[in-house]
Structure 1
Amino acid sequence: MTIPLILASKSMPRRNVLNSAGVCPTIRVSHVDEPAALERAAAQAGVTVDELSVNQRVMILAEAKAQAVHQAYRNVADTAAAATGQRVTAYPLKATGEGDAGSGPSSPDSTAVSASASLASGVTGGKASDITRDFSGVDVPITVEPINAPACGAESLGITADGDVVPAAADGSANAASAPVAPGLTTAAVGPLILGCDSIFLFNGECHGKPHSVEVARERLKAMRGHSGELWTGHCLIDFATGRVTRGASHAIVHFSDYSDDDIERYIATGEPLEVAGSFTLEGFGGAFIDGIEGDPHGIIGLSLPLARRLAAELGVAWTDLWNVARGSHEPAAKSEGVTSSAAGSVPPKENVHQPGDGWIDCNCGRRHWGLNGASGVLLARRDLATGKVTHVVMQHRALWSAEGGTWGIPGGATADGENAIEGALRESYEEANITPEDIEVVGTYREDHGNWAYTTVFAFEKPGHTVTPRANDDESMEIEWVPIDEVTDRKLLTAMRTDWPNFRARLDAIAEEAAR
């Protein structure tokens, strides 16, 4: 059994330490106000921040980061668990005439555009094999059931593309009931584990974090040469399933060489020492200026493997149960055959790293799709306060390096290990578009199931009295906007979005009308 690990940090060195040790984490940045966290902890202890030891500081900050991410995941889990409405599942590959999975008919709801034509008209990310197929014009078997119903429930109904309702079969035929409700964050007996980290450098009795500026880095590097200091690293580990928390700290003594002023200036010019605790690194340019280390070397990089292993053991988790990376690889192990790990089209930013669930699947439909566990996204709608009618939806202008880059769709991505499709959609939509799960309500889903891969569209409204302020939180979007409902088709849409939009709009309108009664 592999237990997912969530790293509450965007630090590339920390990710690399884990990857090299066999663990590919899901990344969730905490956005903790560190000075405020220290002030609160000091006030609770009845002391000043200056009276906190370096050991106390790193553990306070590590726990603040882990707890912030724990709350963020709790918000995701709570919103997913409160979902209402219907779970609609379509099985296009079970339709009559779909035996040849490598080709597909055109769409009845929109004009079909070939992959080559799509790419030639400004869609720069991806290639023909990565463009989602059009299944319009096919009598696709569809099942409908309550969103939280158990698999193959008595309430399941089969519905054809023409809207005819038929009983859901139990023999796996084309109109069989939809797949079981996937396990998720609230169903696991253990995990995922959430790891918060913080590092502080102690030199001449003074605590140093990141210098941030050239002037501060220069001053510190001059003082440190030929001397020694202590690098302290604090960790906090939380088991999401039980809420149990454990924390600890490690430290190592670092001996610096007698480097020159020119060495300092050239090191600063690399930019490396500006955003690392103590103004130096062991694994980067700064490693050449470190003469020796006493203690845990991984702690100096920012993540102590021995400490993390001991903390996991305190929660009853064997470190080897976190292994999910193949030997010699820095990517998650494939979940099925036919997976290619390279992204299609343009090269993504070098900061992008693979997370559990990332990867290309050679789908049964004859195309490649992103997401080893499938993928999902949130179609968030805003309603008029007076009439209750849908007025806007959140749309994502996709980065050029992504598949079908330059088109518009909904924010989402690959489902990570340990989460279900709704939870994955909520997590991804926050990471990409700042859609805060605590401010929305899930009102239905649509899952297109290809057998070995599926995409789930999660329908959601802003909660009454709540406001979502979408923005591009990462480099996967060129822009994120509230788009007027009548203007969606004016955008160059992702192939799947263009095909499904007429039905999606009709469903949003129907749900809104029902809610307004």
Structure 2
Amino acid sequence: MTIPLILASKSVPRRNVLYSAGVCPTIRVSHVDEPAALEHAAEQAGVSVDELSVNQRVMILAEAKAQAVYQAYRNVADAAAAATGERVTAYPLKAVGVGDAGSVPSSSDLTAVPASASSSASPASGVTGGKASDITRDFSGVDVPTTVEPIHTPADGAGKGGSGVNGTDADDTGSTGANGSGTNNASAIQGLTTAAVGPLILGCDSMFLFNGECHGKPHSADVARERLRAMRGHSGELWTGHCLIDFATGRVARGASHAIVHFSDYSDRDIERYIATGEPLEVAGSFTLEGFGGAFIDGIEGDPHGIIGLSLPLARRLAGELGVEWTDLWNVARGEHDPAPKADGVTSSASGSVPPKENVRQPGDGWIDCDCGRRHWGLNGASGVLLARRDAVTGKVTHVVMQHRALWSAEGGTWGIPGGATADGESAIEGALRESYEEANITPEDIEVVGAYREDHGNWAYTTVFAFEKPGHTVMPRANDDESMEIEWVSIDEVPNRKLLTAMRTDWPRFRARLDTIAEEPAR
């Protein structure tokens, strides 16, 4: 069984180190206030920040980052565990007259679907549609068989994670990894609250010690220039702290690595050209080993990976302290190359937009050749949150949170709900809660899950998670990343007037009816 790893950092070099070593991590940025974390730790120790050693500083910050992400996942798991209500599962491929589930739809099927109907289409399709295999089948008007179960009842069959008919992110283009051949793995089915081990959460921090001073990222050209001039022809120490947390047990392992770096006697012209690349501005010590700066390093004593920001030997030892074998984290096949964000080599024909270069494949990302004859996004399926607000007096639903999808995404420019591919190691509800926070700032501690709707295609399914704001709590939605043009509370009566994602347009009448019914039930 592969144990998922969550990297509490958006550092591309750190992710690349892991990927090259066979581990494709889930990326979750910690958003830690680093100066505040150091000040708090110094105050607890009864010293000033300046009195903290470089070793202490990188350990403090690495743990602060790991703990912040641990708490974020804890909030997701707690909200999912507290879910109430029922899960309605629809089986459109079992409907009378739909035809052989595994067959590719006929041309008449395709012409019945609007050109924009592509909730599972590639980023290339935009609002003009894509390949026929990418266009979502339209099951409106079909008498679809359904089952009703308590929301925590394990889903039977494949596609347990869910999939993207009502807002899946077919946004971040990717391909399958060592464990991602299009089948759902056991860890994705278990969920965060039932796993005996993992996922592991890794926090990292790096600082450069030079002439007795600790240097982090310079952030400006002037600071980088001053440091690079002082460092040439001399040596310094690069320290990297790691904190690894096992989510299942809460156990923590910490450690730090360091290496001595010997710099060449580079020129002022070299410095100016190096600064012009932008590379030294956002890296600890104002230099890199694996980039433009590597040519100006004459030698290294110690752990070279630690200089890049992630020490593989240290991470392996920390995993061992938690009882996890490093090889249990491998989820990338030997020789597999990390796919670029725009793996299909195309752009949105409607806008000329391309996925942002920061978008990288994460565990669970990839295409499924669905039994319905189309392609869908999410190796473990996908899910999203339909969050509703109720009137404080009447209890009636007044608004829902809607996502205006980025132009480069599938059916870009339409409105749907925030959500995406279910990651390895999480359930459909957990995936929906994580994605809705990452994309739309829907804070899981401020909402209550009250039901779900799962459209099951056999080897692929999408779960729409119904939720209300908790009484006395307020969710302030906003676009947390570049997958949305805007996120906003939309009046319940205004929703059908928006240009909706194809499947959302089909499902909205029943979704509204269900929200109204749940809102009328006795207080939970």
In the alignment, the residues of structure 2 paired with residue 318 and residue 208 of structure 1 have an alpha-carbon distance, to the nearest angstrom, of 34
Q: Which residue of the partner structure matches residue 364 of structure 2?
A: 357
Which position in structure 2 is the counterpart of 1:87? 87
C-alpha distance after superposition, 1:206-253 (max 9, x if no partner): 000001111111111111111111000000000000110000000011
Matched, 1:425 2:425: no
Pick closer, same or farther for the CA change 1:142–1:515 going to 2, 3 Å: same
Residue type at the aligned position of 2:135: I
- Are 1:388 and 1:516, in contact at CA under 8 Å, matched by a contact in 2? no
Equivalences for residues 279-290 of structure 1 within 5 A: 279-290=286-297
CA distance in 1, matches of 2:313, 2:458: 41
CA contact (8 A) 2:198 2:248 kept: yes
Match runs of 1:452-491 below 5 Å: 452-491=459-498
Equivalent of residue 135 in structure 1, options 118, 139, 160: 139
The 8 Å contact of residues 419 and 432 in structure 2, kept in 1 or not, is answered as: yes
Amino acid at match of 2:96: T
**Alignment-derived partner of residue 50 in structure 1:** 50
Distance 2:151 2:345 in 1: 32
Tell me the equivalent position of 1:274. Answer: 281
Q: Could you tell me whether the CA contact under 8 Å between 1:325 and 1:331 is conserved in 2? A: no
**Offset of 1:88 from its aligned partner?**
0.6
Q: Which amino acid aligns with 1:278?
A: G
Distance 1:361 1:342 in 2: 15
| One-letter amino acid of the counterpart of residue 39, structure 1 | E
Matches within 5 A, 1:362-511: 362-511=369-518
* Residue 232 of structure 2: aligned partner: 225
C-alpha separation in 2, matches of 1:253 and 1:413: 43
Maintained 8 Å contact 2:261/2:297: yes
Alpha-carbon offset, residue 114 of structure 1? 2.4
Indicate how the Cα distance of structure 1 residues 91 and 53 shifts in structure 2: closer, same or farther if over 3 A, else same: same
Equivalent residue number for residue 155 of structure 1: none
CA contact under 8 A between 2:126 and 2:410: conserved in structure 1?
no
Note if 1:323 corresponds to 2:330: yes
What does residue 239 of structure 1 align with?
Answer: 246
Question: Given the alignment of the two structures, is residue 146 of structure 1 paired with residue 146 of structure 2, yes or no?
Answer: no
Q: Are the aligned partners of 1:363 and 1:369 in contact in 2 as well (CA < 8 Å)?
A: yes
Structure 1 residue 183: Cα displacement:
1.6
2:9 and 2:27 in contact (8 A); partners too: yes
Mapped to 2, the partners of 1:106 and 1:463 lie a distance apart of: 46
Contact 2:23 2:330 in 1 (8 A): yes
Q: Would the aligned equivalents of 1:183 and 1:420 in 2 still touch at CA under 8 Å?
A: yes
Alignment of 1:29-178 (within 5 A): 29-101=29-101, 102-103=104-105, 113-115=113-115, 123-124=127-128, 126-149=130-153
Matching of residue 16 in structure 1 with residue 16 in structure 2: yes
| Residue 341 of structure 1: how far off its partner (Å) | 6.8
Task: Tell me the distance in 1 between the aligned counterparts of 2:388 and 2:299.
Answer: 57
Q: How many residues align?
A: 479
Higher relative contact order, chain-length normalized (CA < 8 Å, sep 6+): 2
Paired residue type of 1:139: D
- Taking the aligned partners of 1:200 and 1:328, their CA distance within structure 2 comes to 32
Superposition deviation, residue 145 in structure 1: 1.1
Contact 1:431/1:473, CA 8 A, preserved across alignment: yes
CA distance in structure 1 between the partners assigned to 2:452 and 2:480 by the alignment: 24
1:360, CA displacement in angstroms? Answer: 0.9
Aligned counterparts of 2:298 and 2:245: Cα–Cα separation in 1 = 36
CA RMSD of aligned residues (A): 2.3
**3-state secondary structure, aligned to 1:2:** coil
Q: Residue in 1 aligned with 2:351?
A: none
Q: Distance in 1 between matches of 2:452 and 2:107?
A: 24
Distance 1:151 1:133, change over 3 A: closer
SS in 2 for 1:248: strand
Equivalent residues of 1:116, 1:128 under 8 A apart: no
Which residue in 2 is equivalent to 1:256? 263
1:115 counterpart SS class:
coil
Q: Is the partner of 1:207 in helix, strand or coil? A: strand
Report deviation, 1:280. Answer: 0.7
Change (3 A) 1:258 1:125: farther
CA, structure 1 residues 122+12, in 2 after alignment: closer, same or farther (shift >3 Å)?
A: closer
Equivalent position of 1:174 in the other structure: none
Quick check: 233-242 or 473-482, which moved more? 473-482
1:115 and 1:127 in contact (8 A); partners too: no
Q: Give 2:226's aligned amino acid.
A: E
Amino acid at match of 1:132: T
**Matched residue type, 1:138:** V
**2:7/2:202 contact within 8 Å kept:** yes
Shift of 1:331: 5.0
In 2, distance between residues paired with 1:313 and 1:128?
A: 48
Task: For residues 481-504 of structure 1, give each alpha carbon's deviation from its aligned partner in whole angstroms, at most 9, with x where no partner exists.
Answer: 111111111111111111101100
- Contact kept, 8 Å, 2:113 with 2:137, in 1: the verdict is no
Q: Does 1:199 align with 2:206?
A: yes
Comparing 399-408 with 202-211, which one deviates more in the overlay?
399-408
Verify the 8 A CA contact 1:432 1:477 in the aligned structure 2: yes
How far does residue 139 in structure 1 lie from its aligned partner after superposition?
A: 1.6
Shift of 1:288: 1.1
Which structure 1 residue ranges, 5 or more long, are not aligned? 153-180, 333-339
What TM-score do the two structures reach when normalised by structure 2?
0.87
Identify which range, 117-126 or 487-496, moves more after superposition.
Answer: 117-126
* Deviations 1:417-451 (CA, angstroms, capped at 9, x unpaired): 00000000000011111111011100000000011
Query: Could you list the runs of 5+ residues in structure 2 that have no partner in the other structure?
Result: 157-187, 349-353
